[in-house]
Amino acid sequence: MISVANVSMRYGSKVLFDDVTTTFSAGRRYGLTGPNGAGKSTFMKLLTGELTPQKGTVSRPDKIGVLSQDQFAFDQFRVIDTVIMGNKRLWNTLQERERLYEKTEMTDAEGMRLGELEGIVGEEDGYSADSDAAILLQGLDIADELHDRWMSELQGGQKVRVLLAQALFGNPRALLLDEPTNHLDLDSIHWLEEFLTRYDGTLIVISHDRHFLNAVCTHTADIDYETIITYTGGYDDMVLAKTQIRARIESENAQREKKIDQLNDFIARFSAGTRASQVASRRKEVERLQTTDLARSNIQRPYIRFQMNRPSGRNLLEAQGVHKTYGDLKVIRNFDAIVSRGEKIGLIGRNGMGKTTLLRALLADAPGQPESPGDRDAGVVKWGHEASIGYFAQDHTGAIAKGTTAAEWLHSFDPDLTRQDIHGLLGQMLFRGEEGLKPTTALSGGETARLLFCRIMLQKPNVLVFDEPTNHLDLESINALNIALQKFEGTVFLVTHDQDLIEEVATRLWVFTDDGIQDFKGTYEEFSAQHP
């Protein structure tokens, strides 16, 4: 169990949460929700002990598992050792025991200490540590041959999985996970969902994956209104309950205000007359009926709408014999496909299988895109009549020019637009007031993503090619993107590990497997039913 008593945190004039008292019970799995900037990561750091609250106290069990956010902190260690470090008591014991065994001669005291250490190793299941760590790594798709490699040899996504295994290792009594699904493919996310639903300690998780929160969480702790309110159920249950509570309070307030107006009218009419006792009685009634003060929600919802200048031809794309290799690794092998206008294709499969590679191969000589012949080794790709493409790359480093502001950069794509038009579009994507004048070098990951969406909305293409568009978005923005893609009348190519997005947007799937790319003409739900 983790308990928080009278905790407050503020930065300058911004109050994140004030005088919060709550308990996270054993056996329950809590989703910690709230928009970007609400204070989720700050609250998580208070729970782990990384931060000290400005006011109040936090009580936590001795053994907690925490997902490390620093991918490079363990580069000098082996993968298997990095996982075992998740149990600090065991790791420190193993290190001390190894130093004693390296000695050619031991004193009696050292011999007794060695016996104590062996007892601790037994208590902490240290004799099966390597195999237990290996099982976790296998579940997270870290191949056996990588277990003895140095962490510095792994790719970023692989490092995240190892750090996740570290947090899960040693049967901690509480698990604190900040964005554990980042860089995980759908298979790994499903494995993690099953693992966490079997976990019997206290789980607190931050995630922008709605499906994951609904699948895993028994409760939702929502940071809003400068406090934390816990609801029963997953994310969707929380949204429904929160909306109903807010609507009820607003309705009660409206009724009270109407009654207060009636009473005040009576008081104004008869205060100078002979009905003094009735007036006094109504004044007391007005005091009793004072409306509940509704704190302002910090949730901000962007408005995303993708429109087309004109539709493309009926036959949007034809690919024949598309081939791409990297050295001896054949990533895309003789891929053929015909895509019709209006289809929404989801690209799914494990990380490293070639989803981004295929998109880049299709775009290598696409209309309106920078030519990149090196992205396709062989094959022919024909884009249809009037095809215009809006591309959101997974790695958008350098996509936004530096040395300018968000508004100036956006304006460069349509100089005929007025300043008011540009700021109106920016406002839709939560760049309010002076935020549109923010230097592009100071944009956060979420702001960069939202500004790139602004550009695509401005250009009005009839084809959207989106490669992992949700990586830096909060739940409100992801939900807005989901609705916008469903309503878009053009063609969509979508790479994402967000299951709700795939389920609700995709009408066709390209499934990446070890045997090649399967073209499934149907929804994710239909695919899952055929491939349980």
Taking residues 498-508, report their average pLDDT: 94
Reduce the DSSP state of residue 464 to 3 states and report it.
strand
- Dihedral-angle region of residue 404 (phi above 0 means left; psi in -120 to 50 means alpha; beta otherwise): beta
C-alpha closest to that of 33 among 226, 225, 224: 224
Residue 34 has a pLDDT of 85
Residue 15 has a pLDDT of 81
Task: List, edge to edge, every strand of the sheet that includes 344-349.
Answer: 389-392, 463-467, 491-495, 344-349, 508-513, 516-520
**Number of neighbouring beta carbons within 10 Å of residue 89:** 15
Three-state SS string across 46-65, please?
HHHCCCCCCEEEEECCCCEE
Q: Which amino acid is at 257?
A: E
Three-state SS string across 116-134, please?
HHHHHHHHCCHHHHHHHHH
Residue 345 has a pLDDT of 97
Reduce the DSSP state of residue 452 to 3 states and report it.
helix
- Dihedral-angle region of residue 419 (phi above 0 means left; psi in -120 to 50 means alpha; beta otherwise): alpha
C-alpha closest to that of 160 among 147, 176, 173, 179: 179
Is residue 108 scored above 60 in pLDDT? yes
Angstrom distances, CA of residue 407 to CA of 398, 436, 469: 17, 5, 21
Is residue 268 scored above 80 in pLDDT? no
Task: Give residue-wise pLDDT tens across range 189-230.
Answer: 888 898 899 888 999 999 989 999 999 999 999 988 778 889
Residue 289 has a pLDDT of 61
Q: Which residues contact 189 (CB under 8 A, 6 or more apart)?
A: 181, 209, 212, 497, 499
Binned at pLDDT 50, 70 and 90, residue 29 comes out as very high
Burial 192-231 (b: 16+ CB within 10 A, else e): bbeebeebebbbbbbbbbbbbbbbbbbbbbbbbbbbbbeb
Task: Give residue-wise pLDDT tens across range 288-320.
Answer: 666 555 555 666 789 999 999 999 999 999 999
Angstrom distances, CA of residue 357 to CA of 70, 266, 323, 514: 27, 75, 10, 15
Binned at pLDDT 50, 70 and 90, residue 245 comes out as confident
Residue 454 has a pLDDT of 94
Angstrom distances, CA of residue 7 to CA of 16, 57, 227, 326, 361: 11, 6, 10, 53, 52
Burial 238-277 (b: 16+ CB within 10 A, else e): bbebbeeeeeeeeeeeeebeeebeebeebbeeeeeeeeee
C-alpha closest to that of 388 among 360, 411, 363: 363
Is residue 115 scored above 60 in pLDDT? yes
Pairing of strands 227-232, 64-66: unpaired
Provide the Cα torsion 100, 105, 107, 108; round to 10°: 90
Report whether 188 contacts 215 (CB < 8 A).
no
C-alpha closest to that of 228 among 84, 77, 17: 17
Three-state SS string across 148-181, please?
CCEHHHCCHHHHHHHHHHHHHCCCCCEEEEECCC
Taking residues 388-416, report their average pLDDT: 90
C-alpha closest to that of 489 among 469, 510, 461, 470: 461
Is residue 397 scored above 90 in pLDDT? no
**Number of neighbouring beta carbons within 10 Å of residue 71:** 18
Reduce the DSSP state of residue 2 to 3 states and report it.
strand
Q: Which residue has the higher pLDDT, 29 or 183?
A: 29
Taking residues 246-259, report their average pLDDT: 70
Expressed in percent and rounded to 5, the helix, strand and coil fractions of the chain are 40, 25, 35
DSSP class of residue 323?
Answer: E
Report whether 458 contacts 428 (CB < 8 A).
no
Provide the Cα torsion 466, 467, 473, 479; round to 10°: 50
Mean pLDDT of the chain: 88
Taking residues 130-156, report their average pLDDT: 91
Residue 298 has a pLDDT of 63
